[in-house]
């Protein structure tokens, strides 16, 4: 009899637990979910926010895993907050929105200029949002940006969103900027945050008329030199002070940011040819050592010393190149160092004097000059950063060409 009651108890417990947990299972069942791959957030004329949700159709992926280019669906709703917009959308589509596969969150430039801390806190508070979700600030509306995010060399949209910033390691013209990192920097008292600068490339892109090889690296999103191409693009960085967008970095400035932050493996720069005026040489540079940064407080002002160590090989070739001649190589190295020094200097003074935003987190290093948090807070780093003085030393040693050394 005792055995019977024991078994009965076990049976009842199993039934109770199955019933209790089935509700969570149903709520997270793939049949009841609508998977969002990108979220666009704009300002709205009729309400506080305009939310655009991009979905892909799961049925477009065949059983074998290969697929036709997956069509995407975009729904837009005006709402007072992100959570309220999600709620409205749940009602409209008859499924529950799931953000656990959301790869991109795009904010319009207009909204970002007003401040996005509420939205960022809300998104970080959502257990479904991954900290690795990319954060994009769009030069156009966020809706237009995600509408134009069409993978041309990828079949799957989520895959495209996952790899679209991977070029940052080899070009330095864009950077991986995630919501997790943005949130950490936004709440940090010794650094500021940044996001990917997105836009639409089209024939009507804003562009300047001067033509030289330096122009290739001075563009940013919405200023694309790509021809016959209408698609979203991610070039440059959006710079924030606290939660407000305060400026943008173009390609070469983004490269300077990444180089300072040790986040680029190699990059191509066009430096003036020391042998021939009005000509540029393309050099592929790779950092040999990590950038050494030292922050001191001299007479109450931040004094930041940066040492860059790079090695390079000449990419562009012409006839009568004497790249085995030590003097020529030394001259090219000096030209390269001088070019990088001026680029880095203009970048560093731009973020400190113009934008007043410490996106490289020099403040964290400055903390080593203070014994206590109180001392650091009293110093008021975010205010003092604009007075920073930068001592930049670039040592680039150009070796030779790649396969050709002399022509």
**To the nearest whole angstrom, how small is the minimum distance from the Cβ of residue 122 to another protein?**
13
The DSSP symbol for 180 reads: H
Contact 374, 289 (CB under 8 A): no
For 179, phi then psi, to 5°, come to -70, -35
Find the Cα–Cα–Cα–Cα dihedral 303, 306, 307, 310, rounded to 10°.
Answer: -160
Q: Is residue 376 near another protein by the rule CB under 8 A?
A: yes
Give the per-residue contact string, 113-142, with another protein (x = CB under 8 A; - = no).
--------------x--xxx----------
Q: Is residue 289 near another protein by the rule CB under 8 A?
A: no
The DSSP symbol for 243 reads: T
**To the nearest whole angstrom, how small is the minimum distance from the Cβ of residue 132 to another protein?**
6
Stretch binding another protein (CB under 8 A), from 26-34, 56-64, 275-283, 332-340: 26-34
Residues 6+ apart with CB under 8 A from 62: none
**To the nearest whole angstrom, how small is the minimum distance from the Cβ of residue 113 to another protein?**
23
**To the nearest whole angstrom, how small is the minimum distance from the Cβ of residue 315 to another protein?**
28
Q: Is residue 20 near another protein by the rule CB under 8 A?
A: yes
- CB contact burial 300-336 (16+ within 10 A = b; e otherwise): eebbbebebebbbbbebbeeebebeeeebbeebbebb
Number of C-beta neighbours around residue 366 at 10 A: 23
Q: Which of 190, 246, 297, 317 binds another protein (CB under 8 A)?
A: 190
Q: Is residue 374 near another protein by the rule CB under 8 A?
A: yes
**To the nearest whole angstrom, how small is the minimum distance from the Cβ of residue 218 to another protein?**
29
Residues 6+ apart with CB under 8 A from 172: 251, 254, 255, 258, 259, 264, 267
Q: Is residue 66 near another protein by the rule CB under 8 A?
A: no
Residues in the chain: 407
**To the nearest whole angstrom, how small is the minimum distance from the Cβ of residue 372 to another protein?**
5
Residues in the site for another protein, rule: CB under 8 A? 13, 16-17, 20-21, 23-24, 26-28, 127, 130-132, 159, 162-163, 180-181, 183-188, 190-191, 361, 364-365, 367-368, 370-376
């Amino acid at each position: 009899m005792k055995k019977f009651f024991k078994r009965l108890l076990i049976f009842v417990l199993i039934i109770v637990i199955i019933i209790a947990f089935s509700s969570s299972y149903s709520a997270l069942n793939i049949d009841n979910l609508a998977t969002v791959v990108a979220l666009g957030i704009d300002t709205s004329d009729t309400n506080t926010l305009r939310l655009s949700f991009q979905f892909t159709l799961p049925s477009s992926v065949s059983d074998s895993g290969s697929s036709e280019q997956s069509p995407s669906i975009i729904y837009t709703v005006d709402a007072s907050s992100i959570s309220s917009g999600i709620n409205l959308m749940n009602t409209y589509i008859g499924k529950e929105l799931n953000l656990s596969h959301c790869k991109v969150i795009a904010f319009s430039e207009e909204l970002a200029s007003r401040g996005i801390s509420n939205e960022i806190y809300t998104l970080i508070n959502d257990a479904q949002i991954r900290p690795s979700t990319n954060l994009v600030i769009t030069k156009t509306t966020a809706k237009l940006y995600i509408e134009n995010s069409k993978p041309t060399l990828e079949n799957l949209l989520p895959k495209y969103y996952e790899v679209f910033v991977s070029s940052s390691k080899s070009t330095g013209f864009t950077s991986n900027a995630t919501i997790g990192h943005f949130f950490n920097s936004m709440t940090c008292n010794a650094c500021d945050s940044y996001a990917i600068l997105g836009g639409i490339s089209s024939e009507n892109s804003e562009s300047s008329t001067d033509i030289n090889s330096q122009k290739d690296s001075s563009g940013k999103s919405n200023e694309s030199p790509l021809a016959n191409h209408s698609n979203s693009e991610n070039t440059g960085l959006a710079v924030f002070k606290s939660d407000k967008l305060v400026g943008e970095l173009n390609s070469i400035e983004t490269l300077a940011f990444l180089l300072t932050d040790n986040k680029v493996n190699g990059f191509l720069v066009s430096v003036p040819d020391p042998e021939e005026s009005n000509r540029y040489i393309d050099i592929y540079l790779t950092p040999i050592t990590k950038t050494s940064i030292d922050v001191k407080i001299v007479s109450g002002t931040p004094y930041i010393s940066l040492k860059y160590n790079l090695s390079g090989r000449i990419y562009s070739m012409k006839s009568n190149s004497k790249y085995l001649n030590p003097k020529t190589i030394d001259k090219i190295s000096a030209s390269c160092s001088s070019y990088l020094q001026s680029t880095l200097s203009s970048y560093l003074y731009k973020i400190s004097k113009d934008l007043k935003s410490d996106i490289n987190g020099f403040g964290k290093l400055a903390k080593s000059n203070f014994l206590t948090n109180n001392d650091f807070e009293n110093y008021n780093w975010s205010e003092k950063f604009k007075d920073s003085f930068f001592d930049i030393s670039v040592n680039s040693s150009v070796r030779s060409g790649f396969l050709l050394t002399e022509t």
